[in-house]
Amino acid sequence: MVDLGIKDYSTIQWLATGYMLVSGVLIPASAFLMTRFSNRSLFITSMAIFTLGTALAAFAPNFGVLLTGRMVQAAGSSVMGPLLMNIMLVSFPREKRGTVMGIFGLVMITAPAIGPTLSGYIVEYYDWRLLFEMILPLAIISLVLAIWKSENVMEQNKNATIDYLSVVLSTIGFGGLLYGFSSVSSDGWTDKVVLTTLIVGAISLVVFIVRQLKMEEPLLDLRVYKHPMFALASVIAIVNAVAMFSGMILTSAYVQNVRGISPLASGLMMFPGAIVKGIMSPITGKLFDKYGPRILGVLGLTITAVSTYMLANLQIDSSHTYIILVYTLRMLGMAMVMIPIMTNGLNQLPTRLNRHGTAINNTAQQVSGSIGTAILITIMNSVTKTKAESLMTGRFFPSKYQYTLIPIYHHYIYRLASKYSLRYFLTNHQYVTI
Angle at 51 between CA 167 and CA 339, to 5 degrees: 65
329 and 414 together in one domain:
no
200 and 76 together in one domain:
yes
Burial class (CB in 10 A: 0-12, 13-18, 19+), 226: exposed
pLDDT at 319 over 90: no
Q: Tell me the residue length of the chain.
A: 434
402 and 372 together in one domain:
no
- Residue 73 — pLDDT band, cuts 50, 70, 90? very high
Average pLDDT over residues 42-50: 94
Q: What's the CA gap between 304 and 398, in Å, rounded?
A: 34
Average pLDDT over residues 213-228: 86
pLDDT at 161: 79
pLDDT at 425 over 50: no
Q: Are 306 and 149 in contact (CB under 8 A)?
A: no
Q: Are 71 and 336 in contact (CB under 8 A)?
A: no
Q: Are 434 and 406 in contact (CB under 8 A)?
A: yes
- Residue 409 — pLDDT band, cuts 50, 70, 90? very low
Look at 195 and 317; give whichever has higher pLDDT: 195
274 and 423 together in one domain:
no
314 and 402 together in one domain:
no
33 and 118 together in one domain:
yes
pLDDT at 359: 83
Running DSSP on this structure, what letter comes out for residue 154? S
pLDDT at 60 over 50: yes
Q: Which residues of 402-411 are buried (b: 16+ CB within 10 A; e: fewer)?
A: eeeeeeebee
CATH number at residue 256: 1.20.1250.20
348 and 424 together in one domain:
no
Look at 393 and 410; give whichever has higher pLDDT: 393
User: HEC states along 259-270?
Assistant: CCCCHHHHHHHH
Q: Could you tell me if residue 60 is inside a domain?
A: yes
Task: Report phi then psi at 395, rounded to 5.
Answer: -95, -15
- Residue 54 — pLDDT band, cuts 50, 70, 90? very high
Helix (H, G, I), strand (E, B) or coil at 316: coil
Average pLDDT over residues 393-421: 46
Look at 2 and 204; give whichever has higher pLDDT: 204
Considering the chain, what is the average pLDDT of its residues? 80
pLDDT at 365 over 70: yes
Running DSSP on this structure, what letter comes out for residue 431? G
- Residue 203 — pLDDT band, cuts 50, 70, 90? very high
Q: What's the CA gap between 244 and 36, in Å, rounded?
A: 33
Q: Could you tell me if residue 1 is inside a domain?
A: no
Q: Could you tell me if residue 58 is inside a domain?
A: yes
Q: What's the CA gap between 29 and 220, in Å, rounded?
A: 7
Domain boundary among 370, 387, 404: 387
- Residue 256 — pLDDT band, cuts 50, 70, 90? confident
Q: Could you tell me if residue 3 is inside a domain?
A: no
Q: Could you tell me if residue 210 is inside a domain?
A: yes
**Interval 371-404: pLDDT, tens:** 777 777 777 777 777 766 666 665 444 444 444 4
109 and 140 together in one domain:
yes
Q: Is the pTM of this model over 0.75?
A: no
Q: Could you tell me if residue 2 is inside a domain?
A: no
pLDDT at 271 over 60: yes
pLDDT at 43: 93
Residue span of the structural domain in which 404 resides: 393-433
Look at 70 and 247; give whichever has higher pLDDT: 70
128 and 226 together in one domain:
yes
pLDDT at 410: 46
332 and 427 together in one domain:
no
pLDDT at 69: 95
Q: Which of 68-77, 289-298, 393-402 has the highest mean pLDDT?
A: 68-77
**Interval 123-165: pLDDT, tens:** 878 888 999 999 999 999 999 999 999 888 888 777 777 888 8
Q: What's the CA gap between 384 and 390, in Å, rounded?
A: 10
Q: How many domains does the chain have?
A: 2
pLDDT at 185: 63
Burial class (CB in 10 A: 0-12, 13-18, 19+), 315: exposed
pLDDT at 46: 93
pLDDT at 278 over 90: no
The least confident of 188-192, 317-321, 354-358 is 188-192
Q: Are 236 and 294 in contact (CB under 8 A)?
A: no
Q: What's the CA gap between 241 and 363, in Å, rounded?
A: 11
Q: Could you tell me if residue 292 is inside a domain?
A: yes
425 and 303 together in one domain:
no
Task: Report phi then psi at 170, rounded to 5.
Answer: -65, -45
pLDDT at 302: 92
291 and 405 together in one domain:
no
Q: What's the CA gap between 23 and 42, in Å, rounded?
A: 16
Q: Could you tell me if residue 28 is inside a domain?
A: yes
